[in-house]
Chain A
Amino acid sequence: MVIDVHNLNFSFGSGSLTQPVLKGIDLAIRKGEIVLMTGPSGSGKTTLLTIIGGLRQASNGSVVILGEQLVNSNEQTKVKIRRQTGYIFQQHNLLKSLTALQNVCMTLELQRDLTESERQYRAQQILAAVGLEDRMHYFPEALSGGQRQRVSIARALAGRPKIILADEPTASLDRQSGHDAVEILKQLAKELNTTILLVTHDYRILDIADRVVELEDGLVKAVEHQE
């Protein structure tokens, strides 16, 4: 299992203001699997994603990612998991003072064994793969929403992560470009055998999933197998 969450509880706030959000989550995802997660607003999808990605500290239950226990883990363990995880956000979250190419390179600069020219080459390759070979030197503000989201997909994939976590990546895109972006993501992920956990409200893209899970009221409500 690449992602193995067991009996995870999580609450915001403390004392009388405690607000339980996750109430005993069980979720296991195999290597190379593409899992979509849906659920009503406020059900805790983003919260779960940030815990799995090592961005938020959980202190209850068990969250084992790539063999590392994240519950009550230290900063080093979380940084280690973050480096093996590609994040795609609802907003593209690109660095506005960097070009598309430089943005993608930011992922690769974490890998110190690469040379600068290898970084450039790999970034160009992945940008070409998302169809942006003629937009490499554009700043984010000069790109369309769909193009930006494709850059952020390229950025997430450039480091060849073992896991991709995506939080409503198509929310700001129209039907066609949303579907295109996810299709590219799926295709590249399958090539690299990357595991994907993707949160979405967008029923138009459910067809790319191997499996769909639904989060409701802090629990994994239904697990539905495709085909």
Chain B
Amino acid sequence: MSIVNTWFFPTRLAWRQLIHDRLKLAAATSGVLFACVLVFMQLGFKDALYASAASMPLKFDGDLFLIHQQSEAMWRPAQFERSELMRALGHPAVAEVAPLYLSLATFKALDTQVKRTLMVYGYDPDTDLLNVDAIKTRKRELRVKDTVLFDEYSRPEFGPVSNMLEAGQNRTEVNDYKVTILGVFQLGISFAADGNIVTSDLNFLRIFPNRNAEEIDVGVIRLQPGVFIPEIKEELRAHLNDFVKIYTYEEVLKHERLYWENAAPIGFIFNFGTIMGLIVGMVIVYQILFTEINNYRFEFATLKAMGYPHSYFIRMVFASAFILAILGFVPGLALSSSLYNLAESQIFIPMPMTFEKAFTVFVFILFMCTTAGFLAIHRLDSANPADMF
């Protein structure tokens, strides 16, 4: 009750003073809104890019994964012997194993003939290593020599592949090796590759003549149903050479994300953008609160003369900061949501507006406004009732 009392009146007075000048309130609100949208976009892009970094491993259909310890990320794997993977078959809990080959290659655009780099995945189509329906339904055709499937979510620079396929134009070159595009699937691009193609293990070795079947990039292990995965993981690890790392599905996603979060300057760039947005917003809010206090200092002095304690005005300043935070955040959230949708349609990377993200940004904005409030309260000292009259 006393909390209500101590905060209700200063908040109501702050509100009445803010809405008295609608134009100024609109200006103040748009300052917060601006910061809000800026932060939302920075966080949105950062999360989307991190998520896209793991878009391929996300589709992995397996329980445990073998990767060379020098493989920092999927796009630049170090190879290890296939026999390491085969050794896992000796464990009774292991149902099946399958090797995955991957490498960057140049792809000649169908329309412009310009060569650009994309990622090539090669695996036995019968193993269904990637849980993508458009690939699974074409495994029979993928067995045919020199055939590939193309990722529809690749950058548009590779040409309008879907349209050209419909028009019957399906021949191109990967690493200067002639292939036929059977059709398209949907996976999504990452920092490392502007596009993806999937082919069979045999075709992969044809496209990359200097690779051989015994040198694999990822080993995928499927376990018998019902076994406890972490336990099997520990048992298998004992049988593996030290240079091979074994990961669960979640760990392989995390490994991929962490690489981009730490090794690449991308995290820094977006964090920098976020902090700049918050600082700009804070300066705007500070400016508003400061002039507000300055304009109202006679009134504050009058209230002090009536017996209002100094703490009442401090609460008023923070209440104003809080109101501005809310008034800026609500439209900021709405605007950012639609900008997320717009961005999704432009960069082909999912940008969901999650509760978690909205909550994070709200906390940021609140922190920003409160800090501005802290900086502005010193101006209250100018409201000395004795010198006003």
Chain A residues proximal to chain B, CB less than 8 Å: 46, 49-50, 53, 55-57, 75, 79-80, 82-85, 87, 89-90, 93, 95-98, 102, 106-107, 109-110, 112, 167
Contact = CB atoms under 8 A, between A and B. Distances in A.
Contacts of A84: 307
A86 to B, nearest CB: 8
Contact of A89 (B17, B303, B304, B389): B389
A110 B389 contact: no
B24 to A, nearest CB: 11
Given A46-B389, A56-B386, A83 B307 contact: yes
Given A79-B307, A95-B17, 12 more contacts: A56-B386, A75-B310, A83-B307, A89-B302, A89-B389, A90-B389, A93-B298, A95-B299, A97-B20, A97-B21, A102-B16, A109-B9
Nearest to B5: A112
A93 B17 CA distance: 15
A149 B149 CA distance: 85
Contacts of B7: none
A53 B307 CA distance: 10
Given A96-B20, A102-B16, A55 B305 contact: yes
A97 B9 contact: no
A110 B386 contact: no
User: Would you list the 10 A-B pairs with minimal beta carbon distance, nearest first?
Assistant: A97-B20, A83-B307, A82-B307, A56-B386, A93-B302, A55-B385, A55-B386, A97-B17, A95-B299, A50-B386
Nearest to B19: A97
Interface string B303-325: 11111111000000000000000
Interface string B278-310: 000000000000000000001100111111111
Contacts of B386: 50, 55-57
Contact of A110 (B13, B20, B307): B307
A87 to B, nearest CB: 5
Given A50-B386, A109-B9, A112-B5, A95 B307 contact: no
A50 B309 contact: no
Contacts of B310: 75
18 contacts: A55-B305, A55-B389, A75-B309, A79-B307, A80-B307, A82-B304, A83-B306, A83-B307, A87-B302, A87-B306, A89-B302, A90-B389, A93-B298, A93-B299, A97-B19, A97-B21, A98-B13, A167-B389
Interface in B21-61: 21
B302 A95 contact: yes
Contact of B305 (A46, A53, A90): A53
A194 B293 CA distance: 34
Contacts of B309: 75, 79
Chain B CB within 10 Å — which of A79, A85, A109, A167 has the most? A109
B292 to A, nearest CB: 11
Interface string B368-387: 00000000000000000110
Contacts of A79: 307, 309
A109 B16 CA distance: 15
A98 B16 contact: yes
B163 to A, nearest CB: 62
Contacts of A96: 20, 299
A58 B63 CA distance: 81
